[in-house]
Structure 1
Amino acid sequence: MNIDRWTRRVALLFVALTALLSGCTTYVTTQVTAFSDWSGSDATRTYAFTRHEDQKNNLELSAYERIVANELALHAFREVSHDDARYLVELAYGIRSDIVTVAQPVYYNPWPGPYWGRPFDMWGPWGPFPATYVNQSYPVFTHLLGIRITERASGREVYNVTARNVSEESSLVRAMPYLARSALADFPLANGAVHTVKIPLGGGGGADANEVSLPAATPPAGAASAPKAAQ
């Protein structure tokens, strides 16, 4: 095996190892904003979901309610019938697409062929020539979940939290478990609180003070594929 081939194999191994290690530290980062007048206790955390009339048969909303219900259960909330509930929980959700343009470097190689990338090349893989830049556009998606809790008897709003994240993920269904966990991660937040929650992608790994571990969650099979905002 000649030196050039050995060098290329070592370089490929290094790139693969770097990609593997970087994959272990991939997070979904969500911004959470809350407004709170919460004074409930664990003994009174009974609730029911509420909907507008035109949402009665919304299968997508039903899927998201089940995801949020799992998170509420972690905070001693118990789902009951509407007439027995102390609190009513209403969801709002949506997705928006945008185009982001970034400048990407392009390097000029004046020495192609066997003289390029040799082990003792002092200039490295790009040579002594500066990079030029070209603009590259790609889509990004903003996912949103709002959770509003009111007292059933009085109609008084006691908690209103919004979770928002941006990624290349085009599916709101796949983003929803992260949004729900982030929105309720530190329930109840102080009034006007704004903070960021980082969740390991896929739910693996430990979490520090600023991170929340997310168990694997699969949305119900009845979830609709086309996202629609609920008001």
Structure 2
Amino acid sequence: MKLDRLTRQAAFVLAAFATLLAGCTTYVTSQVTAFSDWSGSDATRTYAFARTADQKNSLEQATYEQIVANELALHAFRQTDEREAHYLVALAYGMRSDTVTVSQPAYYYSAWPGPYYWGRPFDPWGPWGPWGPYSGGYVNQSYPVYTHLLGIRITDRATGKELYNVTARNTDEQSSLIAAIPYLARSAMSDFPLGNGVVRTVKLPVDGKGGISNEVTADNAAPPVPASGAKTVQ
């Protein structure tokens, strides 16, 4: 039957469209800001996490520490007992909700049913007419958005001097902070150590399983500012 052929054709088009969408890459984009007076070497990259009183018995804190520890390990940091650590690493994190209002064009269509065949009235303002759809002005649409933030602060344990302070933040429609933390941690620690005063955008592609791909794309938005006595050791 003709209807069956149309159904099969429609299914084929939908399947092709789904395949095209599957091939598109989704990115998580974060803004990273770093302040640095880093002069460490690989031989001294032992650290322990520093916790506030509220963080000491927090499962959330422990979960985020493990995620950050995995990123630190990629840069030759080795977690150890606090008494033996050369550095202390402190974390700050949070989420803020906002509402974004967007002005969008509003459309309406003719009340005449369509499509139009011979013997039925022709409405030039209808969806199949030469001037349809017809704009009815603009309406305001409000959407919730969520800003997620992760800060990583590295200090010298013996002196308390701050050596590296980096924050990463992103905004999307998802409210889950735990889902955002892996991307924020990877973005914050990418190309460690950054220069002092560097502000840049980091794009991380999402792999087919919803995880982070190994590819990192970063665009510097501001040049580094020299820090007193700063020395970068790769």
TM-score (norm 2): 0.76
Q: 1:150 — aligned with what?
A: 155
* 2:98 maps to 1:93: no
Summarize the Cα distance change of 1:97–1:209 in structure 2 as closer, same or farther, 3 Å threshold: closer
Q: Could you tell me how far apart the structure 1 residues matched to 2:157 and 2:32 are? A: 25
* 2:119 maps to 1:114: no
> One-letter code of the match for 1:194?
V
**How is 1:33-182 mapped onto 2 (pairs within 5 angstroms)?**
33-110=33-110, 111-115=112-116, 127=129, 128-129=131-132, 130-132=134-136, 133-182=138-187
More helix by share: 1
Q: 1:203 — aligned with what?
A: 211
Q: 1:12 Cα shift? A: 8.8
Q: 1:183 Cα shift? A: 0.4
Bigger radius of gyration among the two = 2
RMSD: 3.1
Residues 23-44 of structure 1: CA deviation (Å, up to 9, x unaligned):
7221110000000001111111
**Consecutive unaligned residues in structure 1, runs of 5 or more:** 117-121, 212-231
Q: Pick the aligned partner of 1:194 from 185, 194, 199.
A: 199
Q: 1:137 Cα shift? A: 0.9
Q: 1:102 Cα shift? A: 1.2
Residues 118-153 of structure 1: CA deviation (Å, up to 9, x unaligned):
xxxx99957514433321111000000000000000
More strand by share: 2
SS state of the match for residue 113, structure 1? coil
Q: 1:205 Cα shift? A: 5.7
* 2:188 maps to 1:183: yes
Q: How many residues align?
A: 205
Residue identity (%): 66
1:108–1:126 CA contact under 8 A, matched in 2: no
1:109–1:126 CA contact under 8 A, matched in 2: no
Q: 1:208 Cα shift? A: 6.0
Summarize the Cα distance change of 1:58–1:185 in structure 2 as closer, same or farther, 3 Å threshold: same
Runs of 4+ off more than 6 Å? none
